[in-house]
Amino acid sequence: MKDVITVATMRESDAHTIALYVPSRELMYRAAMGVYQAVNWQGKKVAIFTGSGNNGGDGYALAGILADHSVPCCLYQVSEHYSEDGKYYYDQAVEKGVERKRFSEGEDLSRYDILVDCLLGTGFSGPVRGAFQQAIQAINRAKAYVVSVDINSGMNGDTGKGDLVVRSDLTVTIGYLKAGMFLGEAVWKVGRLVVADIGIRLVREDFFLATPEEMVFPRSGLSLQSSQVTMMTPGEAESVSKNGQTIPDVAQEIALRSQRLVRVLGKHSLVTDGYRTYFMEEGEYPAEIASLGEGERKE
């Protein structure tokens, strides 16, 4: 299983790693290198959109790496404010001759093959406004290949919600998968998802993502299909149906009446069938969500 964490856990893990193990500037460089290694840049023209925080700093570090490998790149700055480490890598990019522009509405992006989204990081929440709104709209209108760094700008890292979110072809998330990437409409925004391991020490475990291989259980070659069907339900769910049963209780009762094997996932689990990922979000659910089992058809 793969770790999936909240924004708070990522923030604490980042601070813990910086305090005891790896300097923040080195982590930023590793993040940029992780993005570089996830994409084929050769022969491409690249535009990197940067904001004011460390997400923008990742973009400046990436610009320097691209310059080292003779990949033409232009920085579109939506904000001219920098984090301390971001300013260090911005200065390096300037020294290496990276082209820089202040982003303006109506910018022609048609000459670029790859657009890199380093506007807003995992700590962002709320509506997107001003130049950031214009930049995200421009990225979404473009026909180029879009890469989001850490998380798609405009997306809430815990809930996956966002009124205006970058739609990427590839998202290179830093350190660990973020919970919001698997909720709501987020799954349709992140594109292909890659994790860049930069050596962040996790302070606690929040959720787990089951891989397709872990969802398949061994069976005898002589067994019948009807004896091998497995139903997996999230355990310890807080949502309660009208008759007082929890959602796992209802699902298990239905499965048992159908004489099927039931496996209960532990608390805080994500389930994937290899195509979509399912997660029981907090809230009240009608009992009809478990309307499987015997019944009769009404004409």
Q: 196, 219 in Cβ contact below 8 A?
A: no
Q: Over the Cα atoms of the chain, what is R_g? A: 23
Nearest 5°: phi and psi at 140?
-70, -25
CB-CB neighbours of 280 under 10 Å: 20
CA distance 48 to 90: 12
Q: Which residues are annotated as a binding site for (6S)-NADPHX?
A: 54-58, 121-127, 150
End-to-end Cα spacing for the chain: 45
Q: 172 — alpha (psi -120 to 50), left (phi > 0) or beta?
A: beta
Report the amino acid identity of residue 103: F
CA dihedral 160, 163, 169, 170 (to 10 degrees): -40
Q: Which residues are annotated as a binding site for K(+)?
A: 55, 117, 153
